[in-house]
Amino acid sequence: MNWVFAAIGSIIGSIILSVLGNILTDPIKGWFAKTSLQSRKNRISELNNELENIRKYKQDNNKFTAESVTQLLNIFILFIIIFVLGLLSASCTIVVFLGIDVFKKDFWEGILGIGLFALLLFILLTPTCIAYIITTIRFMAKIKDFDQYEKNIQEKITSLQISDKGS
């Protein structure tokens, strides 16, 4: 029974770490960019490239629609895979615990192994799916509120250029 709590704790912990990683990525990149001249130049280049990329999607509605549909389909497929893995894991575990004495011990160990493998894949793919969802939401938010996004990026670039001149 302790492994059930460990599995649940692992799932919750991996989800929390995935969300924290996505939330903290930009602030950490910004901090690193301020600490080194080459890092600042690279960060300015990255920000300009990102701004131009998002601008292309903003200007071409068909390209934005195609990208949005593609990302949403990817999320849906990942969700289905995760759902099936969770269902397989749960059903294998239930079958093992409700085991019938007619089958040999090796059969039940095989079923439990399949269930544990499915649980492992479930644990590994869930944070990936959550990270992809967060990335997709950020992408769509940048397009939706492009003027504010562009203003924020320009402020970041200006801040990096000012700190570059101060060095």
How does pLDDT run along the chain (167 residues), one tens digit per residue?
Answer: 566 677 778 878 888 888 888 787 877 777 766 667 777 788 889 989 999 999 998 898 898 889 889 999 998 998 898 888 888 877 777 776 666 555 566 666 667 777 777 778 888 888 888 888 888 898 889 988 999 999 998 998 888 887 656 55
Of the candidates 135, 138, 146, 124, the residue with the CA atom closest to the CA atom of residue 51: 146
Of the candidates 166, 133, 163, the residue with the CA atom closest to the CA atom of residue 34: 163
* 8-15 contacts at long range (C-beta below 8 A, 24 or more positions apart): 10/123, 11/122, 11/123, 11/126, 14/123, 14/124, 14/126, 14/127, 15/126, 15/127, 15/130
Domain locations along the chain: 2-155
Q: Which positions ≥6 away from 133 have C-beta within 8 Å?
A: 75
pLDDT number for residue 70 = 92
Q: Do the Cβ atoms of 115 and 96 come closer than 8 Å?
A: yes
pLDDT number for residue 94 = 72
User: Which DSSP state fits 101?
Assistant: T
pLDDT number for residue 52 = 92
